[in-house]
Amino acid sequence: IPGVVSLTTMNGSFNAIAQNLNVQRLYEKAFDQVIISPTPLWQFVAGQILAGALRGLYAGGIILFLILPVGTGLKFNAVSILILFLNGAVFSSVGIVVSFLAKNHADVPRFSNYIIMPMAYLCNTFFSTEQIPHGARELIAILPLSQTSRMVRSISVGEPARLYGILVLLAYLTVFTAIGLYFVYKKK
């Protein structure tokens, strides 16, 4: 369940931003209106990341609400919510970058199929990564979804989480936000 909740926040956040911003930019030309508006572009990017993170968190919250009657004994606390929010923020910022890299509407699902979907299955969500060969295992371990799944899983069973994963998520968020800001300002 912690892996599925982490996966849900990733998918909800990425899809909400990547698809929407791609359509706004390429087809509706609504992004052009944002560029000429008096709103600072960094605020637009921050708003997109915040909106995507909240959408992902809502989606994960629905999963948590649905498992309440099951009585799993899993524990989720404020740190879990913070980690899931950061996961959503990371993938929202990835969604911004992908929406600017996409040349047409089919490019966003293509990225999702080749990057997001494999990450969903390999990043400690449905099964342990212990059986994955060395080298690949270490590469997968540094991915943001792996960090999120590991921390949320540890907290949910009452074990201490290795919170350096929060620093990893913040590093991903910083890098992808900077790249997203570059694309937004370049478009202007």
C-alpha radius of gyration, the chain, whole number = 17
Residues 6+ apart with CB under 8 A from 176: 90, 93, 94, 96, 97
Q: Is 123 helix (H, G, I), strand (E, B) or coil?
A: coil
For 23-51, the pLDDT digits (tens) are: 888 888 888 888 888 889 999 999 999 99
Buried/exposed code over 116-154 (b: 16+ C-beta within 10 A; e: otherwise): beebbebbbbeeebeebeeeeeeebbebbbbbbbbbbbb
Predicted local distance difference test score (pLDDT) of residue 15:
92
The answer to whether 128 and 59 have CB atoms below 8 angstroms apart is: no
- List the structure tokens of 143: 């991915």
C-alpha to C-alpha distances, 100 to 6, 23, 43, 121, nearest whole angstrom: 25, 11, 17, 26
Instruction: Render pLDDT for 87-99 as a digit per residue (tens, 0 to 9).
Output: 999 999 999 999 9
Q: What is the pLDDT of residue 94?
A: 97
- What are the angstrom distances between the C-alpha of 66 and each of 46, 59, 70? 30, 11, 8
What's the average pLDDT block by block, 10 residues per block, for the chain (188 residues)? 91 92 85 86 95 95 85 84 96 95 88 90 82 89 92 88 90 97 88
**From the CB of residue 187, how many other CB atoms can be counted at a distance below 10 Å?**
13
Confidence (pLDDT) at 106? 85
Is residue 94 within 8 A of residue 56, CB to CB? The reply is no
State whether the Cα torsion 23-26-27-30 is positive or negative. positive
Q: How big is the CA angle at 91 (ends 64 and 125), to the nearest 5 degrees?
A: 50
